[in-house]
Amino acid sequence: MTRAAFGLALLLVTSGCEAERVKTAERGKALAHAAEIASGVASSLRCVDDAWPVYAHDEQRSGASSGCCKGPLSPLWRFEPPPKPPRNARTFHAVVTRDAVYVSGVIGESPSVFALDLEGKPLWTFDSHVDITRHEWPSFVLDRVVLNDDGLYILDSRSGEQEVNRGLDSWGQVITNGRNLLAVNTWYIAGPKTFVGALEVGGAPLWKKHEYGLVREDVLDRLGGIALAGERVLFAPNYAPSPGAGVYACAAGDGAELWRAETIPKSHLSVAGESAYLFERPDGEPMPTLVARDVEHGKRRWTFQAESSEATAPLAAGSRILFRERGGGVVAVRRGEGTLAWRAQLSLPEASDVAWATSQAAALGSGTLVAVDGTELVVLSLADGSVEWRGRPSSLSGAVHSPVVAGGRVYVVDRAGVAALGCAP
């Protein structure tokens, strides 16, 4: 609808002479319809051709794109990595830039990256030739592709050539503050100890904190969640053994500790406004709780009693915080006050056996949520959780997971490869 037509719709509803001829109930319906028209026009004006360059979309781990996506979702292309005999290949997670798709996976047991153009054509492949994967997400940061999976690999985004070799035995998330890399190591074997820290884009360490490890395999961080809140790096480790677990804020520049909260994180964290959101289980409490913490001091703002089915970060989509509950349903909590906004009854995603698999992605421009519902995909309204579309595009194979919304498309990963799906205009 054009702006002129939109204005005419409002005029017909609100003009005095017309209003006199419309009964009160009919006027209410007409106003509601005009509001619906206004919402549709506003959505079309605010859709942004957004990328999805890192796990959970951004350094705040919002899980929300500013783009748009409505159903039905239609197949565009799929990519299945070819084997390198005798080694087979598999995909884990995809991130999307304005001109490429970078997919993490393995060739044999070796962590790898497959680069594709936006039509699914292979551009290059990186094969680490090492042997332990923890299914990490790739990151497109500072014009490089970075994979921290049995080694921190910093790759030229155009050629896939390895710019820096930081050695083996490192796993975890990587983000950027626009100047440097911010990374974690979640497992001490024979390389670096577990840590959270900053590195130059060339890989040289700038600072490291929370370094643990004395003998091979004596420390494992089950989560290793990091997010950025301004110039604060928020870190939520859950160690085995557990001493040292908690939520921490460090200065991005030098790693100085700003605050700490002694608790047991049960999920990665996300940041929106002045708060960080994650699931925690404080010592002595039987159940995990969704917690909102002030990013400046670490104090609790509110709690919402619930248990998530995932260890990935809660979505921060506008005024809502969303997560998947134990039975698979999507729960939306009001971000400001921590009260229930709505609940949508969905099934748990079919098991994918991929660590750090996500099951939902928000498209703020269209006010929608793309979620995995059993073996299907569903598009929900962010306003009230109502189902706008449900289906299973024919190009999918097996369990689907890790949806991302970018450039008017949804990209999902399944057992055999990655699929690009077109959103309705």
Q: Note whether 131 and 169 are within 8 A (CB).
A: no
Binned at pLDDT 50, 70 and 90, residue 28 comes out as: very low
What would the DSSP string read from start to end of 48-101? ----B-STTSSTT---EESS--EEEEEEEEEE-PPPBTTB-EEEEEEEE-SS-E
8-state DSSP, 195? E
pLDDT greater than 60 at residue 17:
no
User: Is residue 152 predicted with pLDDT exceeding 70?
Assistant: yes
- DSSP string for residues in 323-348: EEBTTS-EEEEETTT--EEEEE--PP
CA 291/CA 306 separation, integer angstroms: 10
pLDDT of residue 7: 37
- In sequence order, the 6+-apart residues with CB closer than 8 A to the CB of 264 are 238, 242, 245, 246, 280, 281, 282, 283
Q: Give the pLDDT score at 203.
A: 86
Across 29-33, 85-89, 121-125, 149-153, least confident range: 29-33
pLDDT digits (tens, 9 = 90+) for 65-95: 999 999 999 999 999 999 999 999 999 999 9
Predicted pLDDT of residue 44: 41
Q: Where are the domains of the chain?
A: 3-44, 47-424
Residue 16 has pLDDT above 60, yes or no: no
Q: Residues 47-424: name the CATH superfamily.
A: YVTN repeat-like/Quinoprotein amine dehydrogenase (2.130.10.10)
User: How far from the centroid of its chain's Cα atoms is residue 390's Cα?
Assistant: 21
Query: Poorest-confidence range of 27-31, 122-126, 160-164?
Result: 27-31
Reported confidence tier of residue 48, pLDDT bands at 50, 70, 90: confident
Mean pLDDT of 4-27: 36
- Arithmetic mean of pLDDT, 278-303: 93
User: Cα torsion at 19, 23, 27, 29 (round to 10°)?
Assistant: -160
Average pLDDT, the chain: 90
Sheet holding 122-127, edge to edge: 89-96, 101-107, 110-116, 122-127
Tell me what pLDDT residue 101 has: 99
pLDDT score at 29: 39
According to DSSP, the residues that pair with 127 across neighbouring strands are 112
Residue 147 has pLDDT above 60, yes or no: yes
**pLDDT given at position 60:** 99
pLDDT per position as a tens digit, 173-231: 999 999 999 999 999 998 899 999 999 998 899 999 999 988 887 899 999 999 999 99
Query: Please, how many CA atoms are within 13 Å of residue 276, restricted to the half-sphere of its CB?
Result: 34
Per-residue model confidence (pLDDT) at position 164:
84
Residue 28: count other Cβ atoms within 10 Å of its Cβ: 11
Percent above pLDDT 70 for the chain: 89
| Nearest-angstrom CA–CA distance, 229 and 252 | 10
Cβ(339)–Cβ(347) below 8 Å: no
Residue 165 has a pLDDT of 77
Per-residue confidence (pLDDT) for residue 168, from 0 to 100: 83
Residue 308: partners with Cβ closer than 8 Å, 6 or more residues away: 266, 267, 279, 288, 290, 314, 323, 324, 325, 326
pLDDT at position 191: 87
In this model, does residue 33 exceed pLDDT 80? no
Token pair recorded at residue 143: 């014009």
Q: Answer whether 51's CB lies under 8 Å from 34's CB.
A: no
β pairing state of 181-185 and 174-176: antiparallel
Rg over alpha carbons for the chain, rounded to the nearest Å, is: 23
pLDDT digits 0-9 by tens, 231-283 = 999 999 999 887 889 999 999 999 999 999 999 999 999 999 999 999 999 87
pLDDT value at position 192?
92
Quote the pLDDT of residue 284: 75
Assess whether pLDDT exceeds 70 at residue 104. Answer: yes
Q: Round to whole Å and give the CA distance between 425 and 412.
A: 19
Sorted by sequence, the CB contacts under 8 Å of residue 230 that are 6+ apart come out as: 295
Please determine, for residue 13, whether its predicted confidence score (pLDDT) is greater than 70: no
At 15 the pLDDT is: 36
Would the pLDDT of 2 be above 70? no
CA distance 343 to 327: 12
For residue 336, how many other CB atoms are within 10 A of its CB? 13
- Token digits for 357? 């698999």
Mean of the pLDDT values across residues 341-359? 97
